[in-house]
């Protein structure tokens, strides 16, 4: 089995058993999502990119398109957005849900875009699913290639290994720096560990902010890593 096949199978298995686990009916999941989007908005605002307007954005591993489409809430124009995913059924679902966005089926080791095509690339919990270091390096090199000088990689991924899922491995700061040596920027910890967040129940509004303020309980890294303009 190739690494591409393994990743595709892992995502299919995850989707099959996700069910209520990631449902937004769970208050903890809603808080995780809201916190991440607030963090994304702050990063884009600090870069002076809100509204996004006609800046071109690409999401690698775009899934059903929800996160990429969220960029329209910070002023992106759908016709300037593109997404790439390995799974055909996800691409089909994304096209149906967001017909104004360019969704493509493909392996991000070879992105079908010109050099310096995008102002922004999003990578949300993608590299933690790529266990093969050569493939990860290839994807990172493609992301760097399609970024315009002065553009940025909007990063969000786990900093701890998954206890329950061997297909998810931590991507700490040192590994991010190794993957993207030419990008500059800092990463911050965010997101109360989802297994804990999902168990808070009716206490979520009060408990989530308190627990998320404890650094070791924050399970992800987030940041906007910039490609030098020169």
153 and 143 Cβ atoms separated by less than 8 Å: yes
> Binning pLDDT at 50, 70 and 90, where does residue 3 land?
confident
Question: So what's the pLDDT on residue 22?
Answer: 77
What distance in Å separates the CA atoms of residue 186 and residue 135, rounded to the nearest whole number?
24
Question: So what's the pLDDT on residue 18?
Answer: 62
Q: For residue range 77-101, what is the model confidence (pLDDT) as tens digits?
A: 999 999 999 999 999 999 999 999 9
Once rounded to an integer, what is the mean pLDDT over residues 196-203? 96
Q: Which of 8-17, 190-199, 218-227 has the lowest mean pLDDT?
A: 8-17
The number of C-alpha atoms within 13 Å of 25 and in the hemisphere containing its C-beta is 4
Full-model pTM: 0.95
pLDDT over 70 (residue 186): yes
**Domain 3-226 carries which CATH code?**
3.40.50.150
Question: So what's the pLDDT on residue 20?
Answer: 63
SS3 assignment, position 86: coil
69 and 96 Cβ atoms separated by less than 8 Å: no
The domain locations on the chain are 3-226
What distance in Å separates the CA atoms of residue 119 and residue 212, rounded to the nearest whole number?
31
Q: Which of 7-16, 65-74, 129-138, 209-218 has the lowest mean pLDDT?
A: 7-16
């Amino acid at each position: 089995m190739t690494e591409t096949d393994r990743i595709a199978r892992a995502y299919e298995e995850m989707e099959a058993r996700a069910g209520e686990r990631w449902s937004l009916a769970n208050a903890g999941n809603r808080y995780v999502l809201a916190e991440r989007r607030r963090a994304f908005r702050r990063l884009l605002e600090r870069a002076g990119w809100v509204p996004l307007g006609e800046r071109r954005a690409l999401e690698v591993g775009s899934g059903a398109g929800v996160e990429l489409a969220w960029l329209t809430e910070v002023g992106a124009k759908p016709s300037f957005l593109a997404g790439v995913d390995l799974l055909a059924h996800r691409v089909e679902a994304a096209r149906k849900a967001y017909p104004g966005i360019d969704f493509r089926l493909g392996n991000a080791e070879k992105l079908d875009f010109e050099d310096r095509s995008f102002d922004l690339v999003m990578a949300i919990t993608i590299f933690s699913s790529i266990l093969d270091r050569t493939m990860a390096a290839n994807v990172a090199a493609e992301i760097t290639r399609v970024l315009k000088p002065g553009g940025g990689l909007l990063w969000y991924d786990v900093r701890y290994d998954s206890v329950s899922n061997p297909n998810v491995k931590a991507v700490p700061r040192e590994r991010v720096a190794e993957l993207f040596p030419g990008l500059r920027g800092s990463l911050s910890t965010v997101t109360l560990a989802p297994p804990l967040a999902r168990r808070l129940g009716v206490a979520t509004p009060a408990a989530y902010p308190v627990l998320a303020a404890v650094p070791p309980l924050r399970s992800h890294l987030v940041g906007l890593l910039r490609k030098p303009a020169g």
